Chain A
């Protein structure tokens, strides 16, 4: 069913049940391409494989439900003002796709470019962010420097007084940055891919990666049987090391719990997204009215999908300092996701030492924003068997050659 004013009205007044948005598929014995992981990145990859490369004999497998990983757990901050040219290229590629994504998918992903403001609290922050502003201008990406008063004007609830332990010294603002509805992104891509023939198989855990006698990929073993495919793409975020281990590939990754929490819903009070790496807090307001708050990662690697209470309380302390008017709000829910962190805080996209095995991972604490761009360049990489130009610098090989893409300053734990 295509959504339009007419179809919505007919549905609203006709009283019929809403149709399912994608087919519930049984796994077939073989596919051209098997994608492991039905998060935003895996589903977007399937969508663009079908749409742009005509490869429709594709299955997307997930051990749980689609979008139930980090995609459905993230704080949805979208921006493209990274430092290095390679990063700017991929995140900006994604941002351009966000701008037209609802139309492209005929599904409202609620992309809202309300501005992302990153606060500077010390001399080091100020220099780093100004360097970002200049680098971004050279890259043709919007990013501007604000004084504390301009930051306050852009976000009235923000406290910019000098009495704070870490007063706001300025801010970098990307006006085109913002948020989107995470579930809708997964659902929109799933619906679009399914309509073009892609099988989305939920509750199907991959337990092994099988190989041909010559070493190339032969398919996957799953809890729902063997599935053959000459191309297997692992898009499993925090579980990537586990899956790649099934093919004997050691990864430059560590998995950490990352938490988020939401407050009770209140009337509109936060007009934009505010991030602070230094005091460790990220905040925006959802359309339901909840303040959506991102906390930090735990110190140690873990798959617990929980995270320590001291991590989220630390963030709430910072939020209360930055936004004194939020002090009496109650928190409603908190949760964790498992993020896969690379040594240079940049993703890994491309081929692997195993022929036919592709990987897209390492997005760590900040890959939601890249979802459309990542899926788009990864689909091209799988279809052609060689990296898309935007993906090329992000190959696994960079850890051997030393051509790292250092985004630690921009993305220390941030989004």
Chain B
């Protein structure tokens, strides 16, 4: 179980959190204006890196807030967090 440093509450066990997937995936402002390839990229394509990953977490059973974290997906070590 990861020990996740919530930027508001400090280090808390992983099961207080909900994983929110890759950070920085931006929804097209006007979905009807983009083509199918761009829409598929938004919905489904992910970086899925072996190494540093920027991701979102929500402190679901704590302060309830979202934040971004950077984690090494090989060691699972969280190297930094940021308030949104």
Inside 8 A of A402's CB, which chain B residues have their CB? 36
A400 CB-CB contact with B under 8 Å: yes
Number of A-B contacts (CB under 8 A): 68
Which residues of chain B from 8 to 48 have any CB-CB distance to chain A below 8 Å in the complex?
14-15, 18-19, 21, 36-37, 40-41, 43-48
Inside 8 A of A4's CB, which chain B residues have their CB? none
CB-based contact A300/B45 at 8 Å: no
CB-based contact A252/B44 at 8 Å: yes
Using an 8 Å CB-CB cutoff, how does the interface string of B42-76 with A read, 1 for contact, 0 for none? 01111111100101000000000000000101111
User: With A and B bound together, what is the CA distance between A242 and B37 in angstroms?
Assistant: 21
User: With A and B bound together, what is the CA distance between A401 and B37 in angstroms?
Assistant: 9
Inside 8 A of A299's CB, which chain B residues have their CB? 14, 18-19
CB-based contact B76/A253 at 8 Å: no
CB-based contact B2/A251 at 8 Å: no
A147 CB-CB contact with B under 8 Å: no
Inside 8 A of A400's CB, which chain B residues have their CB? 36-37, 40
User: With A and B bound together, what is the CA distance between A14 and B76 in angstroms?
Assistant: 52
- Shortest beta-carbon distance from A242 to chain B in Å: 5
Inside 8 A of B50's CB, which chain A residues have their CB? 239, 242, 303
- Shortest beta-carbon distance from A302 to chain B in Å: 5
Partner of A241, one of B46, B71, B76: B46
- The verdict on A343 contacting B44 (CB below 8 Å), with A300-B71, A301-B53, A308-B1 known, is yes
Inside 8 A of B21's CB, which chain A residues have their CB? 254
CB-based contact A304/B1 at 8 Å: no
Inside 8 A of A245's CB, which chain B residues have their CB? 49
Inside 8 A of B48's CB, which chain A residues have their CB? 241-242, 251, 253-255, 301
- The verdict on A310 contacting B1 (CB below 8 Å), with A241-B49, A299-B14, A300-B55 known, is yes
Task: Pick 7 A–B contacts, CB within 8 A, sort by A.
Answer: A241-B46, A250-B46, A250-B47, A300-B19, A304-B73, A400-B36, A400-B40
